[in-house]
Structure 1
Amino acid sequence: MKVALLSLAMMGGQFTIPVSDRVPDLNVEATCKATVATDKEMGLDLPQSYEDCMRDENNALQQLNILWLQNSDTLRSQCEGEATAGGSDSYVDLLTCMQMADWAKSPPSAPKLRGASKNRSKL
């Protein structure tokens, strides 16, 4: 199993903690600053503010703290790679990746539709 370990021996403890068992520390501040600058350059009518961007990232982090360990190491690693690709770290992207993977595993079942079928009383 490919899990990096952080030794607490350096801090006086004798325990190890799997690094992958916690949400990665992402530099979302830089991403939010870049997003604000890009929105300004593009002249968007409703650009996202830095504060709104950080609020979204922090909300996503809170949700990730709850669902992180409910997913496999493989999925966590894959989604972390996607959320940090191109140097723009985002908890929102990480959360979205994990939610989409979860949805793909068990998509909601579609209700049976009867419509105007001549055979609807047989359903």
Structure 2
Amino acid sequence: MKIALLSLAMMVGQSTISVSDRVPHFDVEALCKATVATDKAMGLTLPESYDNCMRDENTALKQLNTVWLQNSDTLRNQCEGEATAGGSDSYVDLLTCMQMADWAKSTADAPKLRGASKNRNKL
């Protein structure tokens, strides 16, 4: 019996995936319920509906599943921290963080615009 348990433990240990290698699990149902309640309490004219919130969160999760491993551990950890700050764990926030990092990376290599600078002809 002990040998069987040890063998099972070794097999499970070998198949364990690092936390940063998979998209974190968020309780978006609770997030969406809280969002709806907050919007209602604030008396917003166009409050977020539960269905729209869940649709947005699930769409973001699907997109994250395709891009998660394309980003560095550092960025994934940083974005996860931002997406969970304040207790509102959101796949939309996580995806937005990663998209903004991609955008910043792509624009860093773009040529600098000189526009109507007075120094334009001095370069």
TM bin, normalised by shorter chain, reads: 0.7 to 0.9
Gaps of 5+ in 2: 1-7, 116-123
Matched, 1:27 2:27: yes
RMSD, matched Cα: 2.3
Which structure exhibits the higher relative contact order, with contacts defined as CA atoms closer than 8 Å and separated by 6 or more residues? 2
Q: Which runs of 4+ in 1 moved over 6 A?
A: none
Tell me which amino acid in the other structure corresponds to 1:106. Answer: S
Q: Deviations over 1:54-98 (max 9, x none)?
A: 000000000000000000000000000000011110000000000
| Residue matched to 1:120 | none
Gaps of 5+ in 1: 1-8, 115-123
| Corresponding pairs, count | 106
| 1:37–1:106 Cα change, 3 Å | same
Please report the TM-score for the alignment, with normalisation by the length of structure 2.
0.77
More helix by share: 2
Matched, 1:103 2:107: no
- CA distance in 2: counterparts of 1:16 and 1:45, whole angstroms: 47
Tell me which amino acid in the other structure corresponds to 2:57. Answer: E
Tell me which amino acid in the other structure corresponds to 1:105. Answer: K
Matched, 1:74 2:74: yes
Identity of aligned residues (%): 75
| Residue matched to 2:3 | none
How far off its partner does 1:10 sit?
A: 3.9
- CA distance in 2: counterparts of 1:77 and 1:93, whole angstroms: 13
Equivalence map 1:8-27=2 (5 Å) = 9-10=8-9, 12-13=11-12, 14-27=14-27
- CA distance in 2: counterparts of 1:60 and 1:54, whole angstroms: 10
- CA distance in 1: counterparts of 2:9 and 2:85, whole angstroms: 31
Equivalence map 1:32-71=2 (5 Å) = 32-71=32-71
How far off its partner does 1:19 sit?
A: 1.9
Please report the TM-score for the alignment, with normalisation by the length of structure 1.
0.77
